[in-house]
């Protein structure tokens, strides 16, 4: 088999890249370790920046997003029960759209024209400094795909970054001593907009997927097990962390999904190794507090698609040569913002009473300063590409 671009991973990054290449007439094959149903069953992000919405339009997969996506003009912060609304539209003239990653993935899967090979085992990438090819096995048979380029869109635990020689890669990492326990429930959201809440018992987030489906999170210690959390325990803990009106308005029900996500900041540099590129979670992880992970994956593959399209159309290397540097400039700003939102809103046992007072001062400063709110709003809705 031969293709122009072999894409490893059928998450949102791989599927979006495949779609943009398909539309430009560039042959590509996606190799995914899991089944399509498994990929669609992962409940993850919920907030799209306008840049991601624009990319869905460019990819001609935005009909459902336009019909069902919920435009949010602001978000609420709560600090020990004190509320502050950040008015994105009023502050920076932009907004975000609530539309689940599952839906983004489904729309891209349905539109896919090129070949996707699901349940590909033992995917390996070879010779990306020369004549690259990819091998994998299915049902005990080994296959080979020759290609011009390999796009590593295979997430944090993928094979592509792991295949780069250690001396060619620099990594930067911060692991937080806590995770987010998330619950999905078929009940209307507690508020029109999201609520990011700091409480001395820990962070909580009230989010949503639609007018009838909500997503809630509470900060838990990193070593916590999801089995220790009955639905009842989760709802009780969430209520304790919200202000009393919100806690009273909360509609609870049986969880339809419950999982714990660890929190991590991570960047690998560079993003290009000869004919291998990294994009999305394969290259970087942000803690979910700033809602940046999916959006960064989208902006990476937008840039990578443009570089490859320019290369095939004009025999130009320019986009390919600068992809890593341009993507990393954006990535680091999102890393900074996600780290800052995480630092403001979570409890950090090791920083003690001093740390909590600093967080309170940061919240009070935000509440009293339009300039500070503009900084938050500008970053949350997404910095220009």
- Interaction site with ligand PHB (CB under 6 A): 45-47, 194, 207, 215, 288-289, 291
Q: Is the dihedral of CA 91, 94, 99, 100 positive or negative?
A: negative
Element (H, E) at 265: strand 255-269
Smallest distance from the beta carbon of 14 to ligand RFL, in angstroms? Answer: 6
Distance CA 253, CA 244 (A): 19
Smallest gap from Cβ 179 to ligand RFL, in A, equals 9
Q: What is the largest CA-CA distance in the chain?
A: 64
Angle (CA) 40 45 49, round 5°:
125
Give 43 or 283: the residue with its C-beta nearer to ligand PHB. Answer: 43
CB of 239 to ligand PHB, least distance (A): 19
Cα–Cα distances (Å) from 311 to 21, 24, 308, 325, in that order, read 12, 12, 5, 17
Give contact residues for ligand RFL (rule: CB under 6 A): 8-14, 31-34, 39, 44-47, 101, 120, 123, 153-155, 157-159, 180, 182, 261, 280-281, 288, 291-295, 297
Give me the least distance between CB of 284 and ligand RFL, in Å please: 9
Instruction: Using the minimum distance from each CB to ligand RFL, give the nearer residue, 39 or 376.
Output: 39
72 catalytic per annotation: yes
User: Which of 133, 149, 216, 380 does the annotation list as catalytic?
Assistant: 380
Q: Which helix (H) or strand (E) holds 313?
A: helix 293-314
* Nearest CB to ligand PHB, comparing residues 310 and 378: 378
Give yes or no for a contact between 376 and 338, defined as CB atoms under 8 angstroms apart.
Answer: no
Residue 258 phi, psi (nearest 5): -150, 125
Closer Cβ to ligand RFL, 248 or 257, answer by number: 257
Of the two residues 36 and 367, which places its CB atom closer to ligand RFL in the complex?
36
Dist. CA 234–CA 230, nearest whole Å: 6
Q: Which of 199, 292, 311, 346 is catalytic?
A: 292
Binder of residue 132, out of ligand PHB, ligand RFL, none (CB less than 5 to 8 A by kind): none
Q: Is 288 a catalytic residue?
A: yes
Which of 58, 9, 100, 63 shows the shortest CA–CA distance to 305?
58
Annotated catalytic residue within 12, 132, 287, 288? 288
187 catalytic residue (yes or no)? no
- State the minimum distance, in angstroms, from the CB of residue 209 to ligand PHB: 7
Cα dihedral 325→329→332→338 (10° resolution) = -140
Catalogue the active-site residues.
Answer: 72, 196, 288, 292, 380
């Amino acid at each position: 088999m031969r293709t122009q671009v072999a894409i490893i991973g059928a998450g949102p990054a791989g599927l979006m890249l495949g779609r943009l290449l398909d539309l430009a007439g560039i042959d590509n094959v996606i190799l995914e370790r899991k089944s399509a149903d498994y990929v669609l069953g992962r409940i993850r992000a919920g907030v799209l920046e306008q840049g991601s919405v624009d990319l869905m339009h460019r990819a001609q997969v935005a009909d459902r997003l336009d019909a069902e996506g919920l435009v949010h003009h602001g978000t609420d912060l709560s600090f020990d029960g004190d509320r502050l609304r950040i008015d994105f539209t009023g502050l920076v003239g932009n907004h975000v759209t609530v539309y689940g990653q599952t839906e983004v993935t489904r729309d891209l899967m349905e539109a896919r024209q090129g070949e996707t090979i699901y349940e590909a085992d033992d995917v390996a990438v070879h010779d990306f400094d020369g004549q690259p090819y990819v091998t994998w096995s299915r049902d005990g048979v080994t296959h080979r795909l020759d290609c011009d380029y390999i796009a590593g869109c295979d997430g944090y635990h993928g094979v592509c970054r792991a295949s780069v020689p250690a001396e060619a890669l620099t990594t930067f990492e911060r692991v937080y001593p806590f995770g987010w326990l998330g619950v999905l429930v078929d009940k209307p959201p507690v508020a029109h907009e999201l609520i990011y809440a700091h409480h001395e018992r820990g962070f909580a987030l009230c989010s949503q997927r639609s007018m009838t489906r909500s997503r809630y999170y509470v900060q838990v210690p990193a070593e916590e097990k999801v089995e220790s959390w009955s639905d009842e325990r989760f709802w009780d803990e969430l209520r304790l962390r919200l202000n009393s009106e919100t806690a009273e308005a909360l509609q609870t029900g049986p969880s339809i999904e419950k999982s714990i996500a660890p929190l991590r900041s991570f960047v690998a540099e560079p993003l290009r190794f000869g004919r291998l590129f990294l994009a999305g979670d394969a290259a970087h992880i942000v803690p979910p507090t700033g809602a940046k992970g999916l959006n960064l994956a989208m902006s990476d593959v937008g840039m990578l698609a443009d570089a490859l399209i320019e290369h095939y159309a004009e025999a130009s290397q320019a986009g390919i040569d600068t992809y890593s540097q341009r993507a990393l400039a954006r990535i680091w700003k999102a890393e900074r913002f996600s780290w800052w939102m995480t630092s403001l809103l979570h409890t950090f046992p090791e920083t003690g009473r001093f740390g909590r007072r600093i967080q309170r001062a940061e919240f009070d400063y935000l509440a009293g300063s339009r300039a500070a709110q503009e900084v938050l709003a500008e970053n949350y809705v997404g910095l220009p590409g």
